[in-house]
Structure 1
Amino acid sequence: MARLERALALFMVVAWRIARLMRLGRTCPDLDAGLLFERDEWRAAFNLDKKKPPKTSPRLNEVVRLVAMLGCFLARKGDGEPGVKTIWQGLQRVVDFAAGLRYARELDD
């Protein structure tokens, strides 16, 4: 039972982060993405989308949409804003890629 409680606690933290990204991406789109994403994470989102990452932290809405597009959000004109599922799926890819960037950087040192 204790293992289940630990797993649920971890899942709740992940779900909270995803819901927070979705809500703030909609209500505060001009917020600095560096407040909610690590530098490697937002740079990974740009790299995975084959875009050159900016020198400074981009807007939150831009990064949330990039992350959601990695989770199969199509971002068409009438699609509205990304939801929890597409952000969750895209965030999995971004976090894995960001970890790879960190490991590659450590190998260079």
Structure 2
Amino acid sequence: MGWGEEEFKTIELGDERLNRRAVLLAERLGQKPSASIPGACQSWAETAAAYRFLRNEEVSWDKVLAPHLQASQARMAQHQVVLCLQDTTELDYHGQDIAGLGPLNYEAQRGLYLHPTYVVSPEREPLGVFNAWTWAREFKAADGKRGGPCESTRWIDGMDSPCFLRHIGALVFIGVEIRSLNKRSPT
């Protein structure tokens, strides 16, 4: 059994073919984590199937992440101390025609924010990812203020997650300040 089969053995997307595709896609992307989907897949047919999978309405962020969360909790249970690393980063899609994007730190850029909690042992063994929130900021109003929920609550929400509250040992939360993956500077 490959790592993808083990990690996603409880995935339930409503169709066994979708379940198998999720496992295969996870394994392909895991083998080449910095590659694009076409670069990670082994054929054009596999690439086309990956894009069909991602467009399928039965496939959602929560459904795909659920088996990973279960497997991560099992790994966490094997450690008395777990480090929970939180960070927020920008996903810059500037110049791409994608609905639902919002402004980034530089108001003219468009994208999403991602705030995951990465869980590791004190020995740096990766245990999983929890609470990977994504959101688009609202645009500033005429008065210069931005609407929407207070973004700083994501740090507290991460610590209040039920998956962490079930852990018997010590949890150490470490936060990292917002940073941008985009190297461009505003002009």
TM-score surpassing 0.5?
no
TM-score computed with the length of structure 1 as normaliser: 0.28
Structure with greater contact order relative to length (CA < 8 Å, sep ≥ 6): 1
TM-score computed with the length of structure 2 as normaliser: 0.20
Larger radius of gyration: 2
